[in-house]
A and B are shown apart, each in its own frame.
Chain A
Amino acid sequence: MKTLLKTSTAAIALALAGNAVADVNVAYFLEWATPNQIAKVEKAYDDAMGETVNWTNFGSGVGMTEAMLSGDIDISYSQGLTPFANAVNANAPIKMIAIAVAYGAADDCIVRSDSGITKDNASELEGQTVAVPLNTMADFGFRMTMSNLGVDVSQLTIVDQEPADAAVSLADGAVVMACAYGANSLAKMKEVGAPMLTPAEKAAAGISSFDIISVTETFAQEHPDLVRTFVEVTHEANAAWAADQSKLGVIAKDAGMTEEATTSQMSGFTFPTVAEQKRDYFGPEGIARSMVAFMGNMFATSDTPALADYNVTIDTSFLD
């Protein structure tokens, strides 16, 4: 009887373990146009991996982290660096393996035109109310912009708002400035205001943003080949896109946007090649290494303190 029990529990455990790795579960964003959506639609990932790839869309990078922790997602494509830094501060067993997309104009701080505030008199923001989605890439951009313009953030009243809500508040004049991401929300905001900094000024201020590909450590340990193939196919799709952009319609349809919106969004994107990633992002002084450490320290709290070394959260072996 006891052996029967033992074998049957072992069988159940085996069955569960066997099913758990049958598919690859990938998280991505809607309204975020990337060339690998062509590969996604054409099932190039499935072909190359030989596994069924399930794509699940998420509203935020935080949601991706939560799903990865619960084991429902193996790979997150285009997770923001801020949610990633927050997650590793909280000891989440996930790793950055590559850069998905770099962008300059995707998140921005928009000031209402009738406030008369520009970057030259930015200190007038002190005492005013601004909308920021806290602990996101836009929050990072906001803090960098303010410190660059010499504005004391503690003198501002910061309202935590999602971009869509912030666009409404900015239009109503409830806030004088709103920092946000997302093409639709930013377009609405620009109706009543103007960006605080130009893309060139932002680049000079060190505000570069990029999204990453992250995986759970378990999946990377058990299926390094699948992770490597995922990165490979993604880069193949990026290279194919760089050479030929005739498949815009496929991306637009999959991203749920019009072709014009897709074109305008993608004009602000760059998709670093493997060589560029290894040199510029993951080199000894690479942007990815310095940014994740910088951001981890910026968002550290006493419950989720900064790591001593953020390099352990980066695994570039899948780029080779």
Chain B
Amino acid sequence: MSTPLVEAVETVEAPDAPARRRRGWRSPSFLVGAALLLAVLALALVSLLWSPYGLDHTDPTARLAGPSPQHWAGTDRLGRDQFTQLMLGARTAMWIGLASVAVAFVIGVPLGLLAAAAGRLAENAVVGVIDIVIAFPTLLLAMLLVTVYGASTAVAISAIGIGVSAEVARLTRISASRVFTQDYVLAARTCGTGPLMILVRHVLPNIWHTLLVQAALAFGVAVIAEASLSYLGLGTPPPAPSWGRMLQEAQSTVSVAPWNVLLPGLAVAVTVVGVNLLGDGLREVLDPQLRQERQAGER
């Protein structure tokens, strides 16, 4: 059966034999992914201390100006510096991405473990709920919440977090159930180890790498979701900058200032490609079993 989030990306092809031995942390997708993500993260962190202009600074003499030494990424129709907006937008994206993934894991992991550890009845109930939440798309959930509470960062984080949590719960349940059928779990049970101890000692150590990869991929999903919500006017409200809203504002001036559309889109793409590659790399690094399977499959 396919697992949408996980299968959406794949490992790069197995390199030649000598390179294969040197693999590990030097996996190319891990390195490239980490570099891309670190660049965006650096942009976000630097913006906490310094940005070329203030958030509200407008330059009326340079509206819709192209990239120049004064405005590295040009200006928008109000004369706001786009590089400043990009930096602050990176901060929003990183923050909402991290917070949504945290929400998704706080909800999803215990739910998945519960389904795997408890009896059949509880498992069916949880699986049913997961199926429905998966069928209930994040965007629609966000729209429901915004209707009642208005657009806010908290609503965006909750909606994205709950939406992603279903996938996290599903994956946790599947990986944990696999561990529960192992002989060493049976042995531990025979020795009288309680269910909680089994979870901590045997299940979590065997599934955390899968979950970490999932966290990376979920982060990418969250960044795109945040940009989409902001684009639709349902995300973080102004004045907090967001790549999605930059795109929405730049759409009407695309004929005169196409670079204003180009750059925020690239920023989203760099972030998402970055975490996806990072996820691939992590999977190669952390899961030797999968690595061998893949290599066998490649032959």
Q: Do A and B come from one complex?
A: no
Q: Which residues in A have some Cβ–Cβ distance to B below 8 Å?
A: none
